[in-house]
Structure 1
């Protein structure tokens, strides 16, 4: 069932809740994504967990009228949906930008989070993005939005990515509203995630692709309980590209937490 609630700054948020059982799972999509990217996980885990998905502001069917973009505002979105769903505590599962959002949520609302699962994100927390990458993307969006967004989407895939899935992802990226996309990406220009790890006490499990190496040592230096699993032959969207393998890994992550 599709539900709606309102964010702290008055933006309409669309979300779904399925299943019953603890711990509850809250899935947080990445930039240009939406809740539908986790449909396969809802189907796989709702028989034993309360499963929440949402469209962050500026994405999917949620509202776009926001003055301040960034992980902090998105963290408030996550908790607004948890409140509306009656979920007091949950494991947060964040893909890509959603990984930063889940970190921000755990810092702002530590009493609401029992564990974190990162999906192809936070591979190198000491240098989250290559120098100048975000600035270059923002400049490209301002100059040639559709071309830049398509190029961005395709850079996150591998040669073996299913053509239908590739076309879907391109549509999602190109279909974003330019003003929202530019505002969101601009908010990531100077982000530093290291402070978000300073007081993080909950277990952390990463499920990453092998497109780029994961700096496991940087995570282990800062976290009490951490595990990293790398899926080979998969791009930036393992939950869509290798659903069965990803769901098995997610099951292990939940057990670890």
Structure 2
């Protein structure tokens, strides 16, 4: 309505900035002008460049359809190449890839514990702390790391015995994992993170937040068997699973279990890609003594109720469509203990919904971070 002409604005800005910059250079060479005069001229240069704003450039470019078409085509080509190479993109720009997430090792009592980190360390928002599940690693959160590292600090641990962390011969318990992560938070200066755990990582997140009630500002569990009924411990299926994990066919049983949890919603080729890229590699690297001890202790020796009773921070649960998990998680019991719990569900996705429907998971986490953290604080 003001008769705005982007091209004229750009030309005026270029001319004015050139004149003022030349004046500034002459003042600097002369060296006898008051500081306030030099400062005013510098402000003038800055304001003149303000005329050449991104909005003006965008408006000018929009008037040339051929250029716009070329930019769109180039963006689509870059996204296609990025997808083929395993890189994740946001807004057309390559942000992060699984292969580029290089773990950092910190030594705790002689045991090296790994984590990956991304995003601005000084962001003015709560950082995120991702916790992998049984026989997994940080890769299961690759789309979440790519998405959230654009605005906040993100740390994803590799549990002791998993991924790039050391795997000493010892007992692997939920409480022990929680103690490791609390130590890592202290070492990294990670203050009041939102803890997000996938699968068994959700139980560890619950234990961490109950065991260290002042550590986190919020918690999210993703498709976690969080409150299994006691009768499950005595079921023949569970006993057979534990015997298999401890037996000579360990790797075949673990791989088959991981495949089945993926369910059959996805296109077969994409399901295979997700399994072979994000699930199978850490599964094959997890030593048998780690996997067996962790599963045995989680099923037979761990009671989540004390941690749930101590946990009063905002809490969310994101469900998938996995019959076994749906049957054994008992969210009604968890919500009785933790009335602040909010529940969501991804649509038509298996256990690896963080990869399979990453856009849904990211949207739910975004909503929890912007709204959920401010509800039901106790």
Common fold by TM > 0.5: yes
CA apart distance, 1:14: 1.1
How many residue pairs were aligned?
255
For 2:148 and 2:341, the matched residues in 1 are separated by 22
Instruction: State the partner residue of 2:256.
Output: 151
* Gap change, CA 1:60 and 1:2, over 3 Å in 2: closer
User: Residue by residue, what CA displacement relative to the aligned partner does 1:80-99 show, whole Å, maximum 9, x if unpaired?
Assistant: 22122211221100011101
**What TM-score do you get using the length of structure 1 for normalisation?**
0.91
CA apart distance, 1:152: 1.1
* Gap change, CA 1:137 and 1:226, over 3 Å in 2: same
List gaps (5 residues or longer) in structure 1: none
User: Residue by residue, what CA displacement relative to the aligned partner does 1:100-119 show, whole Å, maximum 9, x if unpaired?
Assistant: 11111112211111111011
Instruction: State the partner residue of 2:180.
Output: 77
CA apart distance, 1:129: 8.4
Instruction: State the partner residue of 1:94.
Output: 197
Structure 1 stretch displaced more, 239-248 or 175-184: 175-184
CA apart distance, 1:158: 1.2
Are 1:221 and 2:339 matched, yes or no? Answer: no
- RMSD of aligned C-alpha atoms? 2.0
* Gap change, CA 1:231 and 1:202, over 3 Å in 2: same
User: Residue by residue, what CA displacement relative to the aligned partner does 1:173-231 show, whole Å, maximum 9, x if unpaired?
Assistant: 23321122112222113222122211211111011102233644323211141110011
CA apart distance, 1:66: 4.4
Alignment map for 1:107-256 (pairs within 5 Å): 107-122=210-225, 125=227, 127=229, 130-131=232-233, 132=235, 133-141=237-245, 142-161=247-266, 162-168=271-277, 169-190=279-300, 191-212=302-323, 213=326, 215-255=330-370, 256=372
* Structure with max Cα Rg: 2
For 2:186 and 2:310, the matched residues in 1 are separated by 23
**What TM-score do you get using the length of structure 2 for normalisation?**
0.63
* Gap change, CA 1:128 and 1:112, over 3 Å in 2: farther
* Gap change, CA 1:11 and 1:134, over 3 Å in 2: farther
* Gap change, CA 1:136 and 1:253, over 3 Å in 2: farther
SS in structure 2 opposite 1:94? strand
Please say if residues 25 and 91 of structure 1, whose CA atoms lie closer than 8 Å, have aligned partners that are also in contact.
Answer: yes
Please say if residues 28 and 102 of structure 1, whose CA atoms lie closer than 8 Å, have aligned partners that are also in contact.
Answer: yes
Instruction: State the partner residue of 2:103.
Output: 2
The runs of 4+ residues in structure 1 deviating greater than 4 Å are: none
List gaps (5 residues or longer) in structure 2: 1-101, 374-378
Structure with greater contact order relative to length (CA < 8 Å, sep ≥ 6): 1
Relative to its length, the structure with more strand (as a share) is 1
CA apart distance, 1:128: 7.7
For 2:288 and 2:176, the matched residues in 1 are separated by 19
For 2:345 and 2:215, the matched residues in 1 are separated by 27
